[in-house]
Amino acid sequence: MANSPSIFSFFSGAGFLDLGFETSGYKIAYVNEIFSPFIAAYRHSRELLNLPSPEYGYHHGEAADVTQLIEGTQAQHLSDLIKDSRKSYNIIGFIGGPPCPDFSIGGKNRGHLGDNGKLSAAYVELICRHQPDFFLFENVKGLWRTAKHRLFFESLKTQLQQSGYILTERLINAIEYGVPQDRDRIILIGFRDNFLKDMEINPEVIFPWDKYISYPQKQVFSYPWCKSELFKKDSIIPCPDNLPEKLTVEYWFRKNQVLNHPNSKHYFQPRAGITKIAAVDEGDVSKKSFKRLHRWRYSPTACYGNNEVHLHPYKIRRISVAEALAIQSLPANFILPENMSLTNMFKTVGNGVPYLAAKALAKTILDFLQIGFTNLEKGS
């Protein structure tokens, strides 16, 4: 591909989704996040990973409020940056996952009227106003499956279609891409109709959703996964032969050397006594809180708010930030800053798109775009 697609990132958090795109061949041009601790973590991790700063920098505070980017001086500034980027790059993409507690069954469930719910509408309005060549929208499955939220989701899609976008969507599970986690998310991807025509891509060409799926869901969930067993501190249990080891938390703990990771000591001390923690069986994730992971199984959704507590499989403690990062399939050298609060560390980890899922989605879009570049080369 002649030029790397230029990515404008919104609700960027600590940059998990962005990292998946960047390591797949895109250029991160613009980063927008309103919560300053997340931006600080984004900067910190990029420096350690030796990645360049975004071409147009980091935007936080008022400049990171997507409602400010729809109208007014901030909107004009963003428009100018997009025009400038088009001088150098053929393709502009918007990516983002608006905060989702208002659509989460386990969250506030206020829907499109909640403060976070309104951000989904603002992101769609942003796309319609600034007309990127393509976009990616990520959110919880509640937006897609809950009846009242689904109506709102359909209205967003109608707005995008009326603004000239051809859409494709799928309810994905991160485990399909090799992430050791059962995490459903709705992914909506859109391409500007005129852009597809210019690229000579037939709008009826099927988007290759399945290309980078390594572990089909039906197959994954049919394995005889380990059930609950009595918790034993520092016990040693070999991985059963009939399981895909690469989808287990223990495989990722070892892969990322979590005990030697700079975030290994970052975990919450139990308010309740260790007796309560030790009483939870390894693999018992049946309760709302105090779920103990099984070392030879995938994790439940990495979401560490609303009193959701995930316990270490064979240690008398909660999981560490290093272990949570591994469960999100991040590279071993992805590190959150020491001075970030524990609450914000776990919040940014839980909010992020799992790295391997982000990378697979980025590659899928790139392969789809490659069809257009091949067509253009044939015609020239």
Residue type, 12: S
Q: At 300, is the secondary structure helix, strand, or coil? A: coil
| pLDDT the model gives residue 103 | 42
Phi, then psi, of 134 in degrees rounded to 5 = -150, 165
pLDDT of 272 over the 50 cut: yes
Segment 324-367, tens digit of pLDDT = 999 999 999 999 999 999 999 999 999 999 999 999 999 999 99
What residue ranges define each of the domains in the chain, with the CATH number in brackets?
A: 6-216+354-379 (3.40.50.150)
367: its two tokens: 């392969």
Residue type, 209: W
Q: Which residues are catalytic?
A: 100
- Which one has a higher pLDDT value, 75 or 89? 75
Residue 179 CA to residue 169 CA, distance in Å, equals: 20
In 317-375, the DSSP E strands lie at none
Residue type, 153: F
| pLDDT the model gives residue 61 | 82
Work out the angle between the directed axes of helices 36-48 and 342-351 (0-180°, nearest 10).
80
Residues 6+ apart with CB under 8 A from 93: 5, 6, 7, 8, 21, 26, 132, 133, 134, 135, 136, 365
Mean of the per-residue pLDDT values for the chain?
91
pLDDT of 99 over the 60 cut: yes
Q: What is the DSSP letter of 53?
A: P
Q: Taking the CB of residue 151, how many other CB atoms lie within 10 A of it?
A: 11
25: its two tokens: 């061949």
Residue 202 CA to residue 270 CA, distance in Å, equals: 57
Residue 5 CA to residue 366 CA, distance in Å, equals: 9
Segment 301-332, tens digit of pLDDT = 998 876 789 999 999 999 999 999 999 999 99
| pLDDT the model gives residue 140 | 85
Residue 320 CA to residue 322 CA, distance in Å, equals: 5
Confidence of residue 104 (pLDDT cuts 50, 70, 90): very low
| R_g of the chain, CA atoms, integer Å | 21
